[in-house]
Amino acid sequence: QQQVKQSPQSLIVQKGGISIINCAYENTAFDYFPWYQQFPGKGPALLIAIRPDVSEKKEGRFTISFNKSAKQFSLHIMDSQPGDSATYFCAASSMETSGSRLTFGEGTQLTVNP
């Protein structure tokens, strides 16, 4: 049972375009929503994270939008670059579970064509 569902599974975008990856969660106790970026042959690395007390967080070209009522959050990559080509994972956790217990989505393989 996947508590965090992520879509699409793969995404191809042209350089300069906007990449959008969506996630939906079921557990209303989740209170921390990070996105991780993984390059081939490497472990995932934290990209950006949001808490449910805000609806949007922006860091450079990366923005998380959060909709608490719909239990959905999304990652927007503006002006996508070939160097953004990677696998992206959304995740969620709650204070009720051990703080380091992250539940991950299925992953999205992003390809940005030059």
Partner 1 sequence: EAQVTQNPRYLITVTGKKLTVTCSQNMNHEYMSWYRQDPGLGLRQIYYSMNVEVTDKGDVPEGYKVSRKEKRNFPLILESPSPNQTSLYFCASTLDGLTKNIQYFGAGTRLSVL
Nearer to partner 1, 43 or 83 (CB): 43
Least distance in Å: CB of 33 to partner 1? 10
Query: In this complex, which beta carbon is closest to partner 1, that of residue 4 or of residue 77?
Result: 4
**Least distance to partner 1 from the beta carbon of 74, Å?**
16
Q: How far is the CB of 100 from partner 1 (least distance, A)?
A: 4
Identify any residues that bridge with 40 across adjacent strands, giving them in sequence order: none
* 65: nearest Cα among 54, 17, 110, 45: 54
Please, what's the b/e burial string for 14-49 (b: 16 or more CB within 10 A of its CB; e: otherwise)?
eeeeebbbbbbbeeeebeebbbbbbeeeeebeebbe
- The residues of the shown chain that bind partner 1, judged by CB under 8 A, are 2, 4, 6, 9, 32, 41-46, 49, 89, 93, 95, 98-107
